């Protein structure tokens, strides 16, 4: 029955013949990810009708029971909320995901978490078997026949914690500001929920509708729609009509292996076991193997304690990860992922060993972050079976997987790597074989530019603050301290810092290109970051970064020793240079065909490097930058939502600044809004 018929049915027939109504809500009524136009169309055309249905359901004088099957999310749940009672399956998943799409629930629903659905009394009856769900819901409804559930109508209910509204608002606002949240939908959701604590139902709905209208015409909504579409597009790799994600079958992986159980290999083994594939794990000696396997098992147990996985899953993952010490055990595996140290000689040695034992159909993947896949494949019996599978730390959690194809990688090998990534729930992006692939290649420019800025007059805290204000979760220097400044030193100099000690390189031009050795000086002074007692670009107390006078002094002395007169660098220059250097490299990557679309580059940065989702990614941002200021200014004028503020540009600036709870954001906002 379509929505209009349902509304008429509720209006006319219910009055006479029907005692109770059971509305079965399954998850095929609406879905997300259809693109901006689909969602926008739905909101502008379907929402007015759905609102009528909701009103008819709510005001129906006979009891209405929603039988929630499978997923009860978004608009489905909002319709269910307008029913007087709700039944669900044990496995039903609840949620209002609109916020992730840059919107808020706009049909009268409030925010709550999936886990809380049962405990907050949202559901009246839970059934375990889907086969009997509808019959049991009907039986439940029959018991209500003859009653008029006025007290169950949502608009007649009061918010439980209404009196604590302001207090809760402050608490959540500060949590969002700690997380450096920049998505307006999140703040709007909080505002509408808060508004519900002191406004009448009708006034609350009006606020909600205003907020939705604001969001739907915002740049953030467009960016988030782009992100959702790009996530889907990333998996649809295509070389030709003959060879693409639809035509090339992946190899069926029944058994896998991971070589090297350090930071990356351990997480990869967990990710493989989690998709139900038994996995052999290897280290270079027995003692390390035993220790690392135990660490893996305890990580899995912690996942179970945190309820990320069930106990059954925990046990099967642990029994599925089998430590081995001999290559001969690998003769029947279908996929091997190597994650040993980043040394080409070692990688080649491992691949030669694999070559000697693995069956000819086995796919051999390397987790290298930048080495040449063709060079690694040169020792393989069949280079077509060699592929890069570049995971990101922590590899069982991070959503990005860069799959790297070399000159000889077969389509079937590509298909398998992409398939495994999607089974793991990752955003798998297929990229070409160039130094650093897509992510690290661009990241290198980002780091280099930040060092030039230090040389010219900026300081680490200024650069990191600017980046965080833009929306990065962590700044460039904080990230380096976290992952280890020594690691990138080794990449830059081709040797470990301890070997370099005493032979300091201080050149400002390398291979004919501008070079800044400040990061080398830092590492050679023993400041690797967190791993060296929290001393890096910052000093850390409880892992919180603080400005270190020694670093300020180090930078000043460096400038003096090179006769560099520092200048004041405006935050805007910092932001532009930090972002545009990467974007430029992104365009080069596209020109060389190392990524098949700007969307793919954006997915790498969003899911691997903490680029703020609400700006779409570096390439999307570049396309919007021309019109960005005008867009923000015009959006600001539309910004009428918050009841205590007048809809003027100045007030919107103040409000956004208050929302971010970040005083340093004020200059940026004033600047953006006043142009």
Question: Which one of residues 65, 282, 377, 488 is an interface residue with ligand NAD (CB under 6 A)?
Answer: 282
Rounded-to-integer distance, Cα 353 and Cα 329, Å: 12
Provide the 10 A C-beta neighbour count for residue 408. 17
Angle between helices 665-674 and 571-591 (to 10 degrees): 70
Which residue has its beta carbon closest to ligand NAD?
262
Closest CA to 270 of 313, 306, 235, 333: 313
Q: How far is the CB of 115 from ligand NAD (least distance, A)?
A: 31
CB within 8 Å of 564: residues ≥ 6 apart: 455, 456, 558
Q: How far is the CB of 285 from ligand NAD (least distance, A)?
A: 8
Selected range binding ligand NAD among 106-114, 340-348, 405-413, 565-573, rule: CB under 6 A: 340-348
Rounded-to-integer distance, Cα 432 and Cα 339, Å: 19
Question: Which one of residues 260, 320, 475, 534 is an interface residue with ligand NAD (CB under 6 A)?
Answer: 260
Q: How far is the CB of 265 from ligand NAD (least distance, A)?
A: 6
Please check whether residue 159 is in contact with residue 90, taking contact to mean a CB–CB distance below 8 angstroms.
no
Nearer to ligand NAD (CB atom), residue 260 or residue 475: 260
Q: How far is the CB of 396 from ligand NAD (least distance, A)?
A: 12
The reply to whether 201 sits near ligand NAD by the rule CB under 6 A is no
Question: Which one of residues 50, 188, 340, 444 is an interface residue with ligand NAD (CB under 6 A)?
Answer: 340
Nearer to ligand NAD (CB atom), residue 471 or residue 484: 484
Selected range binding ligand NAD among 91-99, 167-175, 388-396, 471-479, rule: CB under 6 A: 388-396
Nearer to ligand NAD (CB atom), residue 483 or residue 651: 483
Question: Which one of residues 60, 183, 339, 458 is an interface residue with ligand NAD (CB under 6 A)?
Answer: 339
Nearer to ligand NAD (CB atom), residue 185 or residue 395: 395
Mapping DSSP to helix (H, G, I), strand (E, B) and coil, where does residue 426 land?
coil
Question: Which one of residues 283, 461, 481, 548 is an interface residue with ligand NAD (CB under 6 A)?
Answer: 283
CB within 8 Å of 253: residues ≥ 6 apart: 277, 334, 335, 363, 416, 420
Structure-token match 């021309």, residue found: 626
Question: Which one of residues 71, 191, 193, 367 is an interface residue with ligand NAD (CB under 6 A)?
Answer: 367
Rounded-to-integer distance, Cα 290 and Cα 329, Å: 17
**Whole-number Cα distances in Å, 222 to 103, 597, 621:** 10, 18, 11
The reply to whether 466 sits near ligand NAD by the rule CB under 6 A is no
Question: How many residues interact with ligand NAD (rule CB under 6 A)?
Answer: 25
Nearer to ligand NAD (CB atom), residue 336 or residue 574: 336
Rounded-to-integer distance, Cα 206 and Cα 320, Å: 54
Question: Which one of residues 261, 314, 479, 656 is an interface residue with ligand NAD (CB under 6 A)?
Answer: 261
The reply to whether 265 sits near ligand NAD by the rule CB under 6 A is yes
Q: How far is the CB of 491 from ligand NAD (least distance, A)?
A: 9
Nearer to ligand NAD (CB atom), residue 32 or residue 609: 609
Q: How far is the CB of 262 from ligand NAD (least distance, A)?
A: 2
Rounded-to-integer distance, Cα 127 and Cα 90, Å: 6
CB within 8 Å of 355: residues ≥ 6 apart: 364, 379, 380, 381
Q: What angle do CA 415, 418, 424 make, to 5 degrees?
A: 140
Binding site for ligand NAD (CB under 6 A): 259-265, 282-284, 288, 339-342, 346, 350, 367-369, 390-393, 483
């Amino acid at each position: 029955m379509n929505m209009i018929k349902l509304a008429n049915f509720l209006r006319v027939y219910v009055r006479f013949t029907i005692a109770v109504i059971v509305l079965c809500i399954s998850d095929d009524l609406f879905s997300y990810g259809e693109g901006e136009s689909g969602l926008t169309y739905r909101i502008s055309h379907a929402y007015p009708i759905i609102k009528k249905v909701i009103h008819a359901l709510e005001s129906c004088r006979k009891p209405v029971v929603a039988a929630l099957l499978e997923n009860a999310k978004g608009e489905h749940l909002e319709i269910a909320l307008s029913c007087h009672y709700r039944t669900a399956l044990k496995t039903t998943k609840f949620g209002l995901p609109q916020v992730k799409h840059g919107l808020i629930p706009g049909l009268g629903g409030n925010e709550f978490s999936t886990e809380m659905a049962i405990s907050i009394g949202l559901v009246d009856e839970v059934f375990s078997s889907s086969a009997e769900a509808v019959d049991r819901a009907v039986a439940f409804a029959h018991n209500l026949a003859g009653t008029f559930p006025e007290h169950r109508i949502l608009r007649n209910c009061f918010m439980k914690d209404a009196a604590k509204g302001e207090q809760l608002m402050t608490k959540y606002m500060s949590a969002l500001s700690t997380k450096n949240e920049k998505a307006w939908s999140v703040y709007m959701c909080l505002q509408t929920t808060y508004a519900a604590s002191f406004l009448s139902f009708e006034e609350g709905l009006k606020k909600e509708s205003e907020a939705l209208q604001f969001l739907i015409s915002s740049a953030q909504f467009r960016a988030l729609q782009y992100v959702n579409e790009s996530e889907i597009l990333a998996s649809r790799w295509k070389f030709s009509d003959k060879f693409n994600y639809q035509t090339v079958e992946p190899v069926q992986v029944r058994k896998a292996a991971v070589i090297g159980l350090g930071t990356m290999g351990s997480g990869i083994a967990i990710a493989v076991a989690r998709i139900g594939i038994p996995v052999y794990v290897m280290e270079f000696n027995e003692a390390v193997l035993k220790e690392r396997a135990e660490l893996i098992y305890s990580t899995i147990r912690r996942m179970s304690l945190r309820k990320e996985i069930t106990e059954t899953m925990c046990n099967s993952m642990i029994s599925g990860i089998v430590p081995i010490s001999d290559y001969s055990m690998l003769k029947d595996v279908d996929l091997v992922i190597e994650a040993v140290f980043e040394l080409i000689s070692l990688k080649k040695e491992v691949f030669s060993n694999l070559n000697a034992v693995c069956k000819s159909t086995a796919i051999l993947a390397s987790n290298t972050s930048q080495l040449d896949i063709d060079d690694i494949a040169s020792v393989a019996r069949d280079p077509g079976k060699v592929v890069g599978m570049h995971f990101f730390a922590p590899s069982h959690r991070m959503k990005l997987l860069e799959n790297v194809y070399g000159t000889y990688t077969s389509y079937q090998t590509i298909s398998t790597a992409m398939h495994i990534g999607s089974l793991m729930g990752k955003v798998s992006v297929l990229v070409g074989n160039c130094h650093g692939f897509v992510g690290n290649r661009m990241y290198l420019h980002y780091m280099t530019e930040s060092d030039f800025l230090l040389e010219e007059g900026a300081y680490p805290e200024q650069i990191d603050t600017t980046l965080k204000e833009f929306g990065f979760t962590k700044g460039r220097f904080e990230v380096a301290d976290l992952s280890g400044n020594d690691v990138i030193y080794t990449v830059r100099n081709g040797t470990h810092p301890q070997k370099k000690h005493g032979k300091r390189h201080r050149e400002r031009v390398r291979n004919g290109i501008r070079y800044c050795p400040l990061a080398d000086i830092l590492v050679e002074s023993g400041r690797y970051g967190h791993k060296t007692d929290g001393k890096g670009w910052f000093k850390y107390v409880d892992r919180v970064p603080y400005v270190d006078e020694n670093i300020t002094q180090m930078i000043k002395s460096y400038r003096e020793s090179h006769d560099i007169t520092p200048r004041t660098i405006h935050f805007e220059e910092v932001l532009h240079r930090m972002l545009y250097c990467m974007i430029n490299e992104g365009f080069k990557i596209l020109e060389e065909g190392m990524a098949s679309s700007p969307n793919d580059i954006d997915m790498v940065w969003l899911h691997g490097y903490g680029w703020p989702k609400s700006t779409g990614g570096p390439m999307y941002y570049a396309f919007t930058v021309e019109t960005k200021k005008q867009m923000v200014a015009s959006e600001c004028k539309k910004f009428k939502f918050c009841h205590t503020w007048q809809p003027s540009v100045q007030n919107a600036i103040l409000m956004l600044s208050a929302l971010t709870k970040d005083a340093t954001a004020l200059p940026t906002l004033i600047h953006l809004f006043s142009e």
